[in-house]
């Protein structure tokens, strides 16, 4: 009797704690999308805040649908041969994944949609590079195509581990680069893509000359807060269990956000004389970006160093667009590409066997892991930049990607969505009909 109980205990079976944590984690990652909409929405001018939010919400809708149809299969289906892409037909529409598997710790559908929400946030991040000047319809088409052509293959490379009969991607299994929650697939990928589309679309009218101040930094602060909250699902959920590692990752995620904030503010204080709210919001995100790949490999002290490094380097990197002359409007390159590179590479320095199975250079592990991290970062950047540029050029040459300059000057909210975000004049914004500037008549 005792023997059979022991046998039961070692048989894998549904773990309700882990399943519950993954359901919550997926919901937390979903919350990052509206969080990003607020974060970005506050940064743009008041004439394009709704469009910015719509690009994020639109990406959420399109990418989720595409992911369930074919994206998941490309990312996590059996490898087609070289570790580059999974079988796109294997899990079409989540086929064959719905039956209850009593031997699995959690249902595969929750893993699949958790990963799908990673794709959502990655695509949505790119929108920040092309604020104020993008055709909404083309953006939705881009979001769907980019998920299939760029995100899903890179996710296959780094997130799809070989197990049993299943063969996964080259970075995770042959190269053995480490990426806990998306330094390559999410951060470097979105940053490189943002740079590519920003270059294809060109600068906003008046970039570098007209003030393009953020119109509402309180929205940006709210967005940063929601992103931080959601990031716990993103990172600690990537432990794929409610266990000790998830707890360490949770602590690391918190610490890197804190030190990222402090480091960014310190750079600002020294450079500009003021510690700003915009700097605080940006510093949190920079720290979180960088800890994303590293959170499951570094100690809490390591996480603090990751946050400090990213906060300082990203706050300096965002000035690059003025020096080099590309209009990455909301600093997707400066924060996500640079932060993702910092986090991915720093694993090679700060990884510790006190947390998982690998030591970085500073913990006596030599330069092997550092080399692997550099290859993964470089390959992701090169593939994402080139593939995204080709896709964006194809869309620009066919259906057009950038709005007409008159529409850009009028503000894309009004032109693309027939809405304006704010009516702050009580005398012209009331419910009753009125005349004069800003007047409107309710159409039947």
Binding site residues, other proteins, CB under 8 A: 211, 213-214, 268, 271-272, 274, 276, 278-279, 282, 315, 318-319, 322, 331
Partners of 166 in beta bridges: 163
User: How far apart are CB 134 and other proteins at their closest, in Å?
Assistant: 21
The residue among 278 and 362 lying less far from other proteins, judged by its C-beta, is 278
The residue among 48 and 384 lying less far from other proteins, judged by its C-beta, is 48
The residue among 75 and 312 lying less far from other proteins, judged by its C-beta, is 312
- Where does residue 117 rank: exposed (0-12), middle (13-18), buried (19+ CB within 10 A)? buried
- The answer to whether 377 and 345 have CB atoms below 8 angstroms apart is yes
CA 269 to chain CA centroid, Å, is: 28
> How many angstroms separate the CA atoms of 132 and 127, rounded?
10
User: How far apart are CB 341 and other proteins at their closest, in Å?
Assistant: 19
Q: Which long-range contacts (CB under 8 A, 24 or more apart) does 11-17 make?
A: 11/103, 12/103, 12/104, 12/105, 13/102, 13/103, 13/105, 14/102, 14/104, 14/105, 14/106, 14/107, 15/105, 15/106, 15/241, 15/242, 17/242
User: How far apart are CB 345 and other proteins at their closest, in Å?
Assistant: 23
User: How far apart are CB 274 and other proteins at their closest, in Å?
Assistant: 6
Q: Residues 213, 312, 175, CA angle at the centre, nearest 5°? A: 115
> How many angstroms separate the CA atoms of 112 and 22, rounded?
11
> How many angstroms separate the CA atoms of 103 and 6, rounded?
16
The residue among 79 and 331 lying less far from other proteins, judged by its C-beta, is 331
User: How far apart are CB 276 and other proteins at their closest, in Å?
Assistant: 7
The residue among 283 and 296 lying less far from other proteins, judged by its C-beta, is 283
> How many angstroms separate the CA atoms of 219 and 37, rounded?
9
- What are phi and psi for residue 166, nearest 5 degrees? -75, 130
Partners of 163 in beta bridges: 166
The residue among 65 and 320 lying less far from other proteins, judged by its C-beta, is 320
Q: DSSP E strands: which ranges in 189-249?
A: none
User: How far apart are CB 335 and other proteins at their closest, in Å?
Assistant: 9
Q: Which residues contact 282 (CB under 8 A, 6 or more apart)?
A: 224, 264, 314, 315, 318, 331, 335
User: How far apart are CB 227 and other proteins at their closest, in Å?
Assistant: 16
User: How far apart are CB 260 and other proteins at their closest, in Å?
Assistant: 14
User: How far apart are CB 366 and other proteins at their closest, in Å?
Assistant: 37
The residue among 44 and 150 lying less far from other proteins, judged by its C-beta, is 44
The residue among 162 and 277 lying less far from other proteins, judged by its C-beta, is 277
Q: In 3-state terms, the chain is what percent helix, strand and coil (to 5)?
A: 70, 0, 30
Partners of 134 in beta bridges: 402
Strand, coil or helix: what is 134?
strand
The residue among 3 and 274 lying less far from other proteins, judged by its C-beta, is 274
> How many angstroms separate the CA atoms of 291 and 179, rounded?
10
The residue among 331 and 359 lying less far from other proteins, judged by its C-beta, is 331
User: How far apart are CB 289 and other proteins at their closest, in Å?
Assistant: 15
């Amino acid at each position: 009797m005792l023997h059979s109980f022991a046998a039961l205990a070692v048989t894998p079976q549904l773990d309700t704690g882990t399943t519950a944590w993954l359901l919550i984690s997926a919901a937390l990652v979903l919350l990052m999308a509206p969080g990003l909409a607020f974060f970005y929405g506050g940064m743009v001018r008041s004439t394009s805040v709704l469009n910015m939010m719509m690009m994020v919400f639109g990406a959420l809708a399109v990418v989720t649908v595409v992911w369930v149809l074919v994206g998941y299969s490309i990312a996590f289906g059996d490898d087609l041969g070289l570790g580059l892409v999974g079988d796109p037909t294997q899990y079409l529409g989540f086929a064959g994944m719905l039956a209850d598997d009593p031997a699995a710790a959690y249902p595969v559908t929750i893993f699949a949609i958790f990963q799908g929400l990673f794709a959502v946030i990655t695509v949505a991040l790119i929108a920040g590079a092309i604020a104020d000047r993008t055709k909404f319809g083309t953006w939705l088409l881009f979001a769907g195509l980019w998920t299939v052509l760029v995100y899903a293959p890179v996710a296959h490379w780094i997130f799809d581990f070989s197990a049993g009969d299943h063969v996964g991607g080259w970075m995770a299994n042959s190269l053995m680069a480490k990426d806990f929650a998306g330094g390559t697939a999410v951060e470097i990928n979105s940053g490189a893509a943002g740079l590519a589309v920003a270059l294809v679309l060109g600068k906003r009218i008046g970039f570098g000359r007209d003030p393009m101040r953020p119109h509402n930094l309180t929205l940006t602060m709210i967005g940063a807060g929601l992103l931080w909250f959601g990031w716990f699902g993103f990172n600690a959920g990537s432990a794929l269990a409610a266990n000790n590692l998830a707890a360490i990752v949770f602590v690391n995620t918190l610490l890197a956000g804190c030190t990222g904030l402090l480091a960014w503010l310190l750079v600002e204080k020294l450079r500009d004389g003021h510690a700003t709210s915009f700097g605080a919001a940006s510093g949190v995100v920079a720290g979180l970006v960088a800890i994303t790949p590293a959170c499951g490999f570094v100690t809490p002290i390591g996480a603090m160093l990751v946050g400090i490094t990213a906060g300082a380097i990203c706050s300096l990197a965002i000035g690059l667009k003025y020096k080099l002359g590309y209009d990455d409007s909301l600093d997707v390159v400066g924060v996500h590409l640079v932060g993702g590179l910092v986090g991915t590479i720093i694993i090679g320095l700060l990884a510790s066997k006190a947390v998982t199975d690998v030591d970085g250079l500073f913990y006596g592990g030599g330069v092997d892991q550092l080399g692997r991290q550099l290859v993964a970062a470089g390959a992701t950047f090169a593939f994402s930049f080139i593939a995204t540029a080709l896709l964006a050029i194809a869309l620009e040459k066919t259906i057009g990607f950038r709005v007409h300059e008159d529409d850009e000057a009028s503000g894309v909210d009004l032109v693309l969505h027939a809405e304006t975000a704010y009516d702050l004049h009580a005398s012209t914004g009331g419910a009753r009909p009125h005349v004069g500037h800003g007047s409107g008549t309710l159409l039947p």
